[in-house]
Amino acid sequence: MKTKVYKFGGASVKDANGVRNVERIVRMAVNDQMSNDKCQMSNDKCPMSNGLMVVVSAMGKTTNALERVVELLDAGKEEAALNQWVDIIDFHVAVMKELGLQPGSDIRLQGEIPYDPTLPFDENYDQIVSMGELLSTQIIAVYLLKQGLSVEWWNMPKLLRTDDTWREAKVDDEASRAVIRAGWDRPRRPQIVVAQGFIGGTADGKRTTLGREGSDYTAALLGNYLDAESVTIWKDVPGILNADPRIEPDTVLIPSLRYQDAVELAYSGAQIIHPKTIRPLENKHIPLYVKPFSDPSAEGSRIAADGVGPVDIPVYIWRKNQILITMRAKDFAFALEESLSEIFDIIHRQHLKVSLIQSSAVTISVCVDNTRKVSEAISELRQHFNVTYNDHLSLLTIRGTTPAILEHAKAGRTIMLSQTTRRTARFVVKED
């Protein structure tokens, strides 16, 4: 028996019941490990490679709420920001009380917002938004401990070393692996470690974040560093489905996938796993399970090198909040290659996420996630091109499509742009 990594997302720890369910799932894994290792007698007879790494996101919608705190502060609305902050703390205090924990003594609460108006927005963002994971993991670690489990809480900003690309920090694998391994491999380590997903820290002690929904990525990195036997993501769906059950009424579970298919689904915008999750696992042939937290013994989906592929049912993936930007040459001396390199230079510097590209004789269109950086990028692009854009768009990708499916998908929708190949169709559509 070797190390296992479990990741619980915001939806699975959205309230006190979620935390209790984490305890149930963790206890099952721990009992399993103990009986497999026949090391119930004495803890120090357990092989040190044994253990459960539990990676946790912020509770429920806490990250969105913290983002609003930063935005309000940035807009100079201090009182509204403080109210929002107090709501977030109150929510956590209520969960703690429901779980029988003592706010303030069991868990440290930060009264002041870690905000410095002299710093850039993105740097403040990371200091504030990282609080969500710091709170959720403390609650879970203390709760598990009080239930008699052998637990340790890890402070990832000190362990997962990153650069200072705020909001999208790059992980220094070598430095991180060394400290994390040292912490994991030491004698008499408690069997369960609870760690924050999504956050890390710089060499000079600043907190960083790895990009929204980045906890899956943290789980994969830890799986890689610890040579885990598997990584499991516990979700509020039965596994990887062929469509979002909130949008499509009839969804089908995909029980087995290859790494490469999972990467394609993730990059097309499937919310199920973060796109960066696969690579650290593939490197070490670590299988990834996606399982329902409401039914821990269900099979869920398994993603591995020997998975079944390609996926042979149509898969629908929505990517929301898109903006379609079209660049037109200012004169007729339009050189596609040169324009492309100019455009992508700007896009790269502004950290825009491109979801689709299309070019014609005199125009280039890119569909990107509509983030705060977009307006800055557009003004930069305007120095070189005539730029128009459409927002409130979604990108629908259908993999494994047929003519009948295409017709059905297009019906009743305003399609701004489409790209189809034999098996894949992509539509930029107006959001209604």
Least distance from C-beta 10 to ligand ASP, angstroms? 5
> Judged by CB under 6 A, does residue 215 bind ligand ASP?
yes
Q: How far apart are CA 228 and CA 3, in angstroms?
A: 5
Nearer to Mg ion, 129 or 144 (CB): 129
Contact 50, 112 (CB under 8 A): no
Amino acid at 47: P
Name the residue nearer to ligand ASP (CB basis): 67 or 299.
67
The single residue among 198, 225, 259, 385 that binds ligand ASP, judged by CB under 6 A, is 198
Cβ atoms 126, 206 nearer than 8 A: yes
- Rounded least distance, CB 364 to Mg ion, Å: 34
Cis check: omega of the bond before 120, within 30 degrees of 0:
no
- 212 lies in the binding site for ligand ASP (CB under 6 A): yes
Q: Considering only residues 21, 57, 301, 322, which one is a binding residue for ligand ASP as defined by CB under 6 A?
A: 57
**Helices and strands in the chain, H and E counts:** 13, 16
* SS3 of residue 304 by DSSP: strand
CB of 214 to ligand ASP, least distance (A): 5
CB atoms closer than 10 angstroms to residue 45: 10
DSSP 381-416: HHTTEEEEEEEEEEEEEEES--HHHHHHHHTT--EE
Q: Does 57 contact Mg ion by CB under 5 A?
A: yes
Minimum Å distance from CB 394 to ligand ASP?
19
Q: Cα separations (Å) of 400 from 35, 38, 235, 311?
A: 44, 47, 25, 8
The reply to whether 58 sits near ligand ASP by the rule CB under 6 A is yes
Q: CA–CA separation, 260 vs 352, rounded Å?
A: 24
Q: Judged by CB under 5 A, does residue 10 bind Mg ion?
A: yes
Nearest residue (CB) to ligand ASP, 9 versus 51? 9
Interface region with ligand ASP, contact rule CB under 6 A, candidates 151-159, 206-214, 316-324, 334-342: 206-214
Q: What's the rounded Cα separation, in Å, for the pair 274 and 265?
A: 10
Instruction: Provide the minimum distance between the beta carbon of 57 and Mg ion in the complex, in angstroms, as a whole number.
Output: 4
Residue number closest to ligand ASP, CB atom: 215
The mark string for 159-198 relative to Mg ion (x by CB under 5 A, - otherwise) is ----------------------------------------
Applying CB under 6 A, among 51, 197, 200, 280 the residue interacting with ligand ASP is: 197
Q: Which residues bind ligand ASP (CB under 6 A)?
A: 9-10, 57-58, 63, 132, 197-198, 212-215
